Structure 1
C-alpha cells in the first residue's frame, strides 16, 4: 500500500459546533472494507441525541434565516475552499471507510467543492414575484422563505457528495441541518461538519448524529421539529420514510433506487459506447444508483459488443483502494456483496453466459474484504434478477434485441425510473428514444456525471422531487403570498 496516514479516528456526535458524547455512552466501530481492520469509532446515538440535535438546530435556525444571503453564500464558498485545500485528507478517510480507490475518492471531494460553489451562486439568483394585477390599492407579494430545520440522511456509496446534494442547497437559503451518515461511512461526514465550523458557520447550523441506521433515521423523521426530510437510499427505506413523515406532513426529497437500462441501436458507435459503459457500470464497484445495470444491444452488434465489453471489464484492476493503479475496491459490506453473488447465481441457473468475472476474488490480497470482479453476463433474459433488480455491484446483464420498440418496452418495464442511456448515430432517433424513456435523466451517446446545474431525480419508485441547481434550492423553500392593501 501507499505510505499514507491511517491513524484511527475516534469521534463523537457533532452538535452545536462541537464534539459531544452520545447519551448512551456507547460507541460503534468503523471497519475498512478491504481488510476488516478498525479505522475508527463513533458515538452510538439514540432518540435522546436526536432531541438534543433538533433543539440546537431549531434555535440556530431562528438566527440563521435572518443572515443576509450574501453572507451565507460567502461562508459556503469558504467551506468549499477549505475542502479543496484538504482534499487529500478527506480522500484518504473516504478510502479507509468505503474502500474506493484513492483517485476516485479525491475526485468526489473536488466535485463536492464544486457543487457547494454552484449552489451558492444559484442562491444569489433566487427571486420573489410581484404579479402585475392592476388591482386598485393592492399589491400581491410572492415571497420565498426557508422551510426550516432539515433532516438529511445520506447513504454509504458517496457519503460526502450525496450529503452535499442536500446540505449545499439547504444552508445558503437559510435552513439548518441535522445529518445522519450511513453506518459504514460516518467518519468523513463528521469531519465535514467540523470543517464547516472552521469556515465560520454558526454553531448549530450543521449537526451530525451517528447511530443505528433505521432506529436513528426513523427517530429523525418522526421528530416534530424538522420541516423537511432529504434522503438518498433504497426504495424500501424511502417508502418507510414517506409513511412516517406523512404523520407530520413534512416536505420530502427522496432519491431512491434504480435499475438503469442502456440501449445500443444498430448504428451505435462501439468505440464510444464500450468505454462509456465500462467506465459507468463498474465505477465505485457498481455501488451507485444510476449506473448501467442492464444493456439491450441490437442483434447486428451483439456478439462484437459482448466481446469488447468483456475484454474492457477484464482489464480493470481490483484491489485495495490505497494501492496504486486500482480501478475497483471492495464492496462496502457483506450484505451489498451478497446481491452480486445472487444475481450471478440466478443468471447461471437460467442459462446465461458469464463472459468475465462472476466469482469472489480470493487470495492474500483479497481475503480480508468483499472483493468481486467486474462481471459481464451475456445472453440474459428479461426475467433474470440482473435485468429486473438493482444489483448495486459490478455486474451487468446483456441481451440482444431485433426491434427498437421491444427494447424500449423492456427498458421501461420496471418500477424504477432514475436514469437511462442510449447510443445511436441518428440524433433524431436518439431524441425519440430519450422522449420514450421513463427516466429522470437520459444520456445519449456518452455517459458522465450529472451536471450540478441540472435537476437530478427519478420517475416512478426512483424518488420524489429533484436535487441540484435551482431546482434543488427551491425544494428547501416555502412560498408565502402577501396581499398588501393601502
Structure 2
C-alpha cells in the first residue's frame, strides 16, 4: 500500500506528465504522438522510499518501427533546411528547456532519486548543449584539398541518417541532451531509448523537441521500453545507421556486436575506475574537498567518479582520517531537500551490488574507514540509501580496486613514487578519467601524459563542458560524445572531384 508521501509523489509526477503527455499516460513519443506499448508492464519505483509510483507498457518492435518510419522523412526535411534554420530550431529547444527547467528538475529528482540541487544544474546544462550545437550548425563544413591534378577536390560532412541512442539511469536528462544535440546538429534523426528505470524526463525532452518551432515532427523520437526488447529492436532495425550507447561495458559489448552484424558503427561511452592521485606537495585542503566531490557527487553513480584514491604514503594516514571525518558530515537524505548532497541509489539491484562489493572487500582484508551501510537516520524510509563510504588498506589486486562499484564507495591505495602512482592508475582495463593533485608543474604534465584516460584533470575533478571532447580508452569505450569531435562521429565524409581543365587528358579509352 502507498504511504502518504508516496501518494503525493505519484500525484506530483502525474501532474507534471499531464503538462506534456496526453492524459499523463506514459508511452513513446513519436512524431508528436504518444504511442502505447504492447509489451509487458514496466514499473517505476521512487528511489527515496522504494515504492511504485507509475507504470507503463514496454514499447516493443512495432513502436520502434513507427519511430523509424517517422524519422526518414523528418531527417530529409531537416537536412534540406538551411544550416542557419537548423540552428534557430535548436536554439528554440534550449529556450523551451529553460522555460520548463524547474518541472524537469523536479521530475528527474522523483524518477532518478538525484538531489534537486543536482538536477537543476543538469537541466541547465542540457539547455547549454542545444545552444552550443545550435552555433555549430552553420560552421560544419568541409575543406578544399590541393590535389596534384586539374581537379577541384572538396569534402562534405553529411549526416549518417537515423541514429539510435541508448542512455542510462544515472543521469537521464543530461545524457539525453548530451547525445541528441550533436546528432541533430549534424543533420541526423534520433531514436532515443532511455533506461526503462528512468524514462520520464527523456520523454518530456522529446516532446519539447517536437514543440520547438522549425523542428520536423519525428526528427527526435523517444522510446519507453526495456533494453532486451525495445532497445534490441532499435539496434537491429534496417534503418539504423549509427548506434550510440552509454552504460556498462558488458552491455556495450553486446550492443557493439549487434551493430556490427548489420555493418553499422557504434559509439560506446562505458564505465570507469578512475584514479585520483594526491601527492604530498599538493594543496591538501583543496585535494580533500576534490576527493569528496570526485566520488560522492551523484552518490558515486557516475562513470567518471574518482573511485580510486591514490595517496602518497607520507600523508596517507592523516589524509584518510581527515577524509573520513569530512565524509560523515556530507548531508545525505531525501533528494527533494535542497540541502541534500547525497541522495539514494537509483534502484534496489544496484544498492545490493554496492553493499555486496563492500562486504567482499572487508572479507578480503580491507578496512572501512567511514560509512559502509545505510545511515541510521534513513533506515526507516524504505529508500535505497547508502552512506559515503571509504575503504582503506585495499590491495592493488582487490576487486574493489579494479572493478566499477557505481556507488559512493572510495577505495584508498598508498604509493611511494610517481612511477608507482602511474602504474597503479593504469592497473585497470578502464580508461575514462583521472586526476592528479600536485604543485609540481612538471609532475602534473608527466602524470597527465602517462595515465591512460580520455579525460584528465590537474588540481581539480569532474569539470565537464559540452565544448570539450568526452570519451574513454580501453574498456571505457570508444568515440567522443561532445565538442567538435562528436560532430565528426555523427557525419560521414564525402570526397567530391570536379574536373576543371579545358581539355583534360584521356587516360583510358578513345574519344569518338
TM-score (norm 2): 0.91
Secondary structure in 2 aligned to 1:227?
A: strand
Match 2:487 to one of 465, 473, 485: 473
The alpha-carbon deviation at position 354 of structure 1 amounts to 1.0
User: Does the aligned pair in 2 maintain the 1:456–1:466 contact within 8 Å?
Assistant: yes
Distance in 2, Cα, partners of 1:7 & 1:179: 21
Moved over 4 A (4+): 362-366
Q: Residue 359 of structure 1 is aligned with which of 350, 373, 389?
A: 373
Q: Deviations for 1:379-407, whole angstroms, at most 9, x for unmatched residues?
A: 11112222110010000011211122112
Q: Which residue of 2 aligns with 1:430?
A: 444
Between the aligned partners of 1:111 and 1:324, the Cα distance in structure 2 is 19
State the distance in 2 between where 1:21 and 1:44 align. 8
**What are the ranges of 5 or more consecutive residues in structure 1 without an aligned counterpart?**
none
Q: Secondary structure at the match of 1:289?
A: coil
Instruction: Please tell me whether the aligned partners of residues 416 and 462 of structure 1 are also in contact (alpha carbons under 8 angstroms).
Output: yes
Q: Retained in 1: the 8 A contact 2:300–2:408?
A: yes
Q: Deviations over 1:344-366 (max 9, x none)?
A: 11221122221110012356664
User: How far apart in 2 are the matches of 1:329 and 1:225?
Assistant: 40
- Of 22, 25, 32, the residue aligned with 1:17 is 32
Q: CA deviation at 1:43?
A: 3.4
Q: TM-score, normalised by structure 1?
A: 0.96
1:134 Cα shift?
A: 5.2
Residue of 492, 496, 503 corresponding to 1:482: 496
CA contact (8 A) 2:50 2:384 kept: no
d(CA) in 2 for partners of 1:280, 1:400: 18
Aligned to 1:213: 227
Question: Secondary structure of 2:365's partner?
Answer: coil
Residue 318 of structure 1 pairs with residue 324 of structure 2: no
Could you tell which deviates more after superposition, 335-344 or 81-90? 335-344
Asked whether 1:30 is paired with 2:36, we answer no
Q: Which residue of 2 aligns with 1:441?
A: 455
CA deviation string 1:280-318 (max 9, x = no partner): 210111001001111111111111110111111111121
Mark the structure with the bigger radius of gyration: 2
Aligned to 1:185: 198
Alignment partners' CA distance in 2, 1:386 and 1:366: 28
User: Secondary structure of the residue that 1:249 maps to in structure 2?
Assistant: coil
Shift of 1:455: 0.8
Please tell me whether residue 150 in structure 1 is matched to residue 159 in structure 2: no
Partner of residue 341 from structure 1, selected from 355, 358, 361:
355
* Residues 6 and 39, structure 1, Cα contact 8 Å, conserved in 2: no
What SS class does the counterpart of residue 470 from structure 1 fall into? Answer: helix
| Mapped partners of 2:42, 2:216: distance in 1 | 28
CA distance in 2, matches of 1:423, 1:273: 6
CA distance in 2, matches of 1:22, 1:343: 36
For the 8 Å contact 2:13–2:107, the answer to whether it is kept is no
Distance 1:37 1:347 in 2: 30
- Structure 1 position 281 matched with structure 2 position 287: no
- 1:301-350 CA-partner distances (Å, limit 9, x unpaired): 11111011111111112111112411111111122112221221122112
Aligned-residue RMSD, C-alpha: 1.7
How much has 1:195 moved relative to structure 2?
A: 1.0
